[in-house]
Structures are given as structure tokens and as C-alpha cells.
Amino acid sequence: MPKVAKPFARLLRVSTTRIDGGSLFGSTAKERWETFVSPDRQNRVAIGNYSMLLNHPAGWILVNAGPGDKAPLSLDVAPMRSRSSLLRELRELDLIPKDIRTVIYTHLHDEHSGGGTHITSSGRVLPTFPNARYVIQKAGFAEATQPNERSAQHYRADDFEPLQESGQLDIVDGQTEIAEGVWVSSAPGPTAGHQIVTAEYNETTYAFLGTLIPTSMHLCSDVVAAGDWSPEATASTKLSVKRKAIAAGWRVAPVGSDDWVNACDLEGLAAFSVGKAPVKKAAPVVEIPTPRRVRERIAVAV
């Protein structure tokens, strides 16, 4: 029997985090978001932590590495997130860490980059993917190495210092083609150095949005996480991304679903949120640079 071809783009749910509802939904009233998702007794709601795996001709590409298996620096963190299933997911695809050629981080928050390094039996911290280059935005790296008091809790040095020591860290600035048809573009808001990843395959473009839209309710322009670096930047960035996604017919994730979502269905997903907030003056839109081939498709679509 011939082998079944592996899909070009896989969305992997590698862990689940329980986060305070007020932090996740920001200024959105609890009576509104509670109709969308029910919190536990500690006012926490569960959201997925996702990675994207690309079966690229130049080698396997992983976007975000989940929290990994290093012990949390704070005992308060452990009860809030499940164990990472990333390596198990790779094994089920007959892949081992040495098979990954590129790792892209949307940002360096530990929950999404912790799995990029691991602790050996001798206590050393080494890159999990020894043959990979690790790609991060210049602004994202600056945030992680010099965090302010508000964001320091989200970063830990052993997520990225071993990558510097091994020479595997690749710092880019703005829109960059990482491999043929695979682009990173600055998408500030969740962090100043946050980036999204678009990957073209045949006539389809897959867009991995990082933590820009953690649930479908966040598709609403006024629903923004309180912990974001700049809620105003998040609002305008996601508006720009949604416009481009719809115009070009992208498939996007994560947006609160365990599978890819066609951009034309995003407005329908947003309708899952109950009630409407008062209309506010829209923030200026942050324009996300569009790769050349995608720009051509948008021009045709329009």
C-alpha cells in the first residue's frame, strides 16, 4: 500500500492553559464573556496552546514549541497549564527532534518557547532541536533580554540563551522570507516583537497568528487580553490581519479552534460571542506587510 502524503500544514494543540478570565478578556464585562465560556471556581478559563508544523521541501518547520518540560520557575505556574504533548505529537508522525530544520517563535513568552530547550540528566540546558535554526524578531528578542517589570514574569533566560551559545538563534527584523513561500511579518500587540507566519502551498496560504486571537470571541475588535503589551496595537493589528486574510482567502489559526479556519468564516465565528459592546472609535490600523505573492493574489481578488 502506498504511503499517504503528510499534510503540508498541521495545527498541533500541544498544551492547555487555565488563565484568569479577567486577564484573557480584558475590559470586556464578565457578564458578556461568561455567556461565551464558563470559568472555574477560581475564575479561570481554559485555552489551547498551539504549534504549527510545516512539511516543507527544505525541511520540517515548527512554529512555536509550547511550554516544554523544564520545571516552572514559579510554583504558581504548574497548576495553570498541562504537560506539553509536542514531542509525543512528533513521534506519532514518525519524527524526532533532529528532523526539525527550522523553529519560528511568534514571541518568546515561556509558554510558547519553553519547549525549544530541555534539561539533560546532567542538568545542562540544551536546544531541543539540534539541527534547527530558531527564528525570532529583533524586537521580540530585545523584549525577552530586557523585559520591563510588567512582562518579566513571561520570560526565562534558559529558553533562549542556550540557542545563542549554540549559534542557532536567527534574529530577523520585519518581514522576512524564512524558506520558499514561508514568511514572518511583524504583528505587534500581544508583545512589541510579536510576529505572524504565513506559508504558501499550491493555491492555499496558511496563516499562524500566534496569540493575536486566542479565542473566537477575540475576533471582536473590542475584546483584547489585559496582559497584552498594547491592547490598542492588538486591536488594530488583528483588524489588518483579518482584512488581508479575507481578501486573499487565507486559512488561519489559532482562533479558538483546534483546526484551520477559512478566513471567510471568521465573521461567523465572531458571532459566537453574545452581546455587543458600545461602538468605539476605531484605532488606527497597523498595516501588516504582505509577501509579494500574496499581494498579487489580493490584487486579483479585489
Average pLDDT score, the chain: 89
**Taking the model in full, what pTM does it have?**
0.89
Give 272: exposed, middle or buried? Use CB within 10 Å, 0-12, 13-18, 19+.
Answer: middle
Find the mean pLDDT for residues 257-282: 71
- State the Cα angle at 62 between 23 and 18, rounded to 5°: 25
Read off the pLDDT of residues 30-70 as tens digits, 9 standing for 90 and up: 999 999 999 999 999 999 999 999 999 999 999 999 999 99
More reliable by pLDDT, 300 or 229: 229
CA distance 107 to 88: 23
Percent of the chain past pLDDT 90, that is, above it, reads: 80
Share of the chain above pLDDT 70, in %: 86
Cα separation, 139 vs 52, in Å, equals: 22
Fill in the amino acid letter for 288.
I
pLDDT score for 288: 65
Cα dihedral sign, 19-25-29-31: negative
Tell me the C-alpha to C-alpha distance, in Å, between residue 17 and each of 127, 145, 288.
24, 24, 28
Which residue has cell 536546544? 127
CA nearest neighbour of 178 among 56, 47, 1: 56
Q: Grid coordinates standing for 97?
A: 527532534
Closest CA to 183 of 203, 204, 200, 202: 200
Using pLDDT thresholds of 50, 70 and 90, give the confidence band for residue 187: very high
State yes or no: pLDDT of 71 exceeds 80.
Answer: yes
Identify the band that residue 281 occupies on the pLDDT scale cut at 50, 70 and 90: very low
Q: What is the pLDDT of residue 127?
A: 98
Show me where the domains of the chain are located: 9-301
**What's the mean pLDDT in 216-225?**
94
First vs last C-alpha separation in the chain: 44
Which pLDDT score is estimated for 81?
74
In the CATH scheme, what is the code of domain 9-301? 3.60.15.10
pLDDT at 107 over 70: yes
pLDDT of 284 above 50: yes
Output the nine-digit C-alpha cell for 148. Answer: 520591563
State the pLDDT at residue 7.
86
Split at pLDDT 50, 70, 90, the class of 295 is: low
* Residue 265, pLDDT above cutoff 50: yes
Q: How confident is the model at residue 83 (pLDDT cuts 50, 70, 90)?
A: confident
**In the predicted model, what is the mean pLDDT of residues 76-98?**
87
CA dihedral 52, 50, 198, 251 (to 10 degrees): 100
User: Where does the pLDDT of residue 298 fall: very low under 50, low under 70, confident under 90, or very high at 90 and above?
Assistant: very low
pLDDT score recorded for residue 74: 73
